[in-house]
Amino acid sequence: MRRRLPSGLSAVSSIAVASTVLAAACAPVVPGGTGGLGAAREGPYAGWQREERQRIGSFSTVQAVAVSRRYVYAASSGGIAIYDRFTERWLPPLTRDLGIADQQVTVMAGDPVEDALWLGVPGGVITYRPLTEHVQRTIVMGVPQVIAFDRSGAGDALVRSAGQWTRVSRAGITTPVNGAPIAAQTLVPRSFEDLLQQFPTLRTQPQLLLRSAAGNRQQANRPLRQFAVISGAASPDRTSEVWLGTDGDGVYQYDPSFLSGKALPYGLLEPGVGALAPAADGVWAAGLGASERRGGLTFATNDLQRWRWIEGTLAVPLTGVRTFAMATRANRAWLGTDRGLIRVRLDGDNDVQSWSNLDGLADARVLAVAPRGEGVWAGTARGLLYVNDTSDTKAPRTRGIGARLLDNLVINALQFTGDTLWVGSDAGLLAIPSPNTAVGGPVSRPLGNDPALRRPVRSLAWSDSVLLALTDDAVLQLAPHGGVEPARVPALDVLQIGRPLRVAIDDRAMWAAGSDGVIMVSRRTGAVRVLRVGGDLPGPALDLVAQRDWLFVGTPQGLMRFRRGADGLVL
């Protein structure tokens, strides 16, 4: 009997099952043949190496788990995450970009003989070997329901589909099996139902498992909720090691001897990235509000090995919040969202405060933020204002809201260069020298004859002595301190990226991102490179963060990380 799981998953009662669809971008395969993800891959992602380009989705809800001798496989809406138990490191996940087949996975089993993952899909069985990034597809009749392994010989897989058993060798050769395999010679990985029977505490008292992950949800200002254990698999070589998946808190390593669990967060807290902000050793990502389960901030180190999730509080829930802009300063992250201005402390307290139009914001839609001193300048859909941190203000009635400028004007972007606040608005580019947090300051326009300076400015970016302004038809380069006429950057042809959304710059390169992709130019060599949606990106580029070795791109389908070369462009 089959039951339906969320996101197009299916389950078979006796086997741990797998994730959502994984699209085909691998080398073509033939019956019983092989195809690799590395050298022979064809399609839009041909030529990419796994470490050079990664896409990370949400893995907070883990719908199936499988374990081989070395690896743990966790299936979710973001694909299949792979954890190396020996080195305690995450490998690049199997996602729609690097996937295997655009079909539903019905069975997932870890290989007890070698470090491989076996997946059953309608009409076939797919084997993936992480060490070599090798994909092998074998055609079988019907829909696989059970994957077991022969204890004798080479440990071939035994697949039950269409009411019969088929032997699948490790080279992909199939042989029909008469009758059912002999139980004494067959190894069937323990299912999640088997684990629940062996360890009933997982069903009756899951809080004992989650007690070791104190986390922010156990603080007084966090919602008191427990995440159910919905999937699991046992290690084939360690009786005291069980791996479990939850319905919102990721993967846990469970020790049944001591009834304790260790949380291993990986991936985004919620699907999609609305805004990014740099960190000293990584990047912060805020969501699009697409999840009804959890919402908040995700931190990832540059090597994508350490992850941290911060969700909202009882007073300021972040579930369903769409973030337009984010900036960090000291231990605070300031978020411009569709529900006002939000401040999140990034220290151990993880306190969350918010300001809305009920507190005096000109509009609840905050499109840009620029931290300064003990507060932040916020650009809304109806003007610009300064908000002092409420913990430092002595005027509780105003909740720290000070100067208000440019009323009823859409503010799309803010950027400080020294003491000058540059404002990208629907009326063009504006500047406020040394703005006073109490009364604002004089608003001026930069000198220049280019009509683009008076058209809507969508994004601003600054590095060393260059300020970039993104409009609907051009990228302008300005000298913030004057003396140089604003000039267009012809290499950044925004017509190639659809609707312009973001611009970025550092000492080596410049980028413009939009609904159709990302265009970049090296400041050292003048070389130009374009990343296109459908070929290099899974969706619109909503935000960019450039680190020394990596370029992070936020998309509605997840977080993309590209390796940068010596010229600053992606490889």
CA–CA dist 554, 547 (Å, integer): 14
Residue the block writes with tokens 């891959």: 41
CB of 118 within 8 A of CB of 147?
A: yes
- Asked whether residue 66 is assigned to any structural domain, the reply reads no
Note whether 417 and 487 are same-domain residues: no
Residue 33 is part of which domain span? 2-54+81-190
Note whether 432 and 502 are same-domain residues: no
Note whether 469 and 546 are same-domain residues: yes
Q: How many domains does the chain fold into?
A: 3
CB of 107 within 8 A of CB of 66?
A: no
Give 434's Cβ-side CA count (13 Å radius): 0
pLDDT digits (tens, 9 = 90+) for 20-79: 333 322 333 323 333 333 333 333 344 456 788 999 999 999 989 999 989 999 999 888
- Asked whether residue 343 is assigned to any structural domain, the reply reads yes
| Predicted pLDDT at 393 | 47
For 240-351, list the strands marked E by DSSP. 242-246, 251-255, 260-264, 275-279, 282-286, 296-301, 307-311, 323-329, 332-337, 340-345
Domain boundary, last residue among 396, 411, 445: 445
- Asked whether residue 389 is assigned to any structural domain, the reply reads yes
Note whether 440 and 363 are same-domain residues: yes
Strand-pair partners of 327: 334
Token pair in block for residue 128:
């993936």
CA–CA dist 378, 361 (Å, integer): 9
| Predicted pLDDT at 390 | 63
Positions of the chain with pLDDT lower than 50, given as ranges: 1-47, 100-102, 211-218, 392-395, 397
- What CATH number corresponds to the domain at position 492? 2.120.10.30
End-to-end C-alpha distance for the chain, whole angstroms: 48
| Predicted pLDDT at 2 | 35
Note whether 176 and 118 are same-domain residues: yes
* DSSP 8-state secondary structure symbol assigned to residue 206: H
CB of 322 within 8 A of CB of 289?
A: yes
Token pair in block for residue 94:
């199997």
CA–CA dist 238, 277 (Å, integer): 41
- What CATH number corresponds to the domain at position 379? 2.130.10.10
Residue the block writes with tokens 């505490």: 201
- Asked whether residue 155 is assigned to any structural domain, the reply reads yes
Phi, psi of 194 (to 5 degrees): -65, -40
Token pair in block for residue 505:
């710059």
List, as one string, the DSSP characters of 501-517. Answer: EEEEE-SSEEEEEETTE
CA–CA dist 455, 474 (Å, integer): 10
Note whether 104 and 32 are same-domain residues: yes
Note whether 470 and 550 are same-domain residues: yes
| Predicted pLDDT at 203 | 76
Note whether 482 and 422 are same-domain residues: no
- Asked whether residue 236 is assigned to any structural domain, the reply reads no
Strand-pair partners of 467: 462, 478
* DSSP 8-state secondary structure symbol assigned to residue 228: P
CA–CA dist 371, 382 (Å, integer): 19
- Asked whether residue 233 is assigned to any structural domain, the reply reads no
- Asked whether residue 108 is assigned to any structural domain, the reply reads yes
pLDDT digits (tens, 9 = 90+) for 413-469: 999 999 999 999 999 999 999 998 888 889 999 888 889 999 999 999 999 889 999
Note whether 360 and 487 are same-domain residues: no
Domain boundary, last residue among 190, 212, 237: 190
Dihedral in degrees, nearest 10, Cα atoms 371, 375, 376, 380: 160
Note whether 355 and 426 are same-domain residues: yes
- Asked whether residue 264 is assigned to any structural domain, the reply reads no
Note whether 408 and 465 are same-domain residues: no
| Predicted pLDDT at 21 | 31
| Predicted pLDDT at 19 | 34
Note whether 176 and 312 are same-domain residues: no
CA 363 to chain centre: 29
Q: Which amino acid is at 42?
A: E
Domain boundary, last residue among 190, 211, 241: 190
Instruction: Please give the radius of gyration of the chain, using alpha carbons only, rounded to the nearest integer.
Output: 26
Alpha helices in 435-482 (DSSP H): none
Strand-pair partners of 72: 67, 83
